[in-house]
Structure 1
């Protein structure tokens, strides 16, 4: 009887050790999948900014900022052709994170009013320059650039948008300006890095054209010292990495 009892005790002990080993093995095997969620980097704070490099004497900056709050002589913002309520409802970004909504509300609804009435249709590469009234938004001037039909958006067109922004900056004689593509604000899930790169390429190509004309005594302009590309908090790192690669 004692032998049977000892046998049962031995079996029970081995079973417990086996189960403990299984639990420990499962715990260790799942640990690597738990750790990344625990160590996820926080989003950059609003106001975060960095100079990424310099091209032809122009500092290239990326910043987490709403276009309505960016202190700049010229703010460029992009809009698609008007659809009812298009910047206020999904798939557009939530209003608290939507730079175009901030611009519109800061200017007492003028952007929506212009678009809804057809005074500014937002056709591809259409532009409208607004002198910003005192006591509204931070930029001194706002340039709206149309992107056309959102269903036909192609990131390649952002090279032309970048060139348009640079040419307007040179025409106005400012020495710096900020660019906000506002694609996700308008509900288009665009390739963030490629869009930023194309905007920069277009701007630099346009600048070099004017430098060439100046060498032929066919242009006279004030040099641009800085271009700031604005990015939302979740897209700051992606934008910065893409721009650094383009600068290099």
Structure 2
């Protein structure tokens, strides 16, 4: 009697179509992703070094404007921007600009407390953080973006001077209608160069910075006029107490 050889009737598992069982391929993708992130990290930091001396023409925010939007930006050195605008912007956005290292922990804690209590929402971002966002990142919230913004603020505060941070900020800040930078804003709103802005004009420009596409300078509404009046008083305090020394003081 011939006996049939023993056979295993259990079917061997087959890989699902489109699914790879090769752990090496996953490792390759992870390595490629890591290299890409490292390349982006190095590129951004190299860009930060170059922008410590080179003018910043264009930004991601400008590129993300709706198609067909006419953009205006005229880079000028800070020597050609009115000191009144520097003082008004410090008064409006970051009174401790000269004192912090890119992140104002006290202002951040105050903003968190006010938001928790249901008051008017505040971001707590410094001028340095806003500069980092405007140069390297995009508008909008999200903890991941805010974390990157905070790191870049610390980075540029280390490798740029405060005067340079203010210079870049004033040249790339948006003043509505596709207008970027103090020179373009002064020409469009008042028909004069940024160096000739008066205290009132500087206060008006600083007053609309939080929402430049919502609040108008020409003509200013009641809220903008009231805020500009308040900022003129605060700018005087900035000047009197030397809160602008890191930008305007001659070394």
TM-score (norm 1): 0.27
Query: Which structure: greater helix fraction?
Result: 2
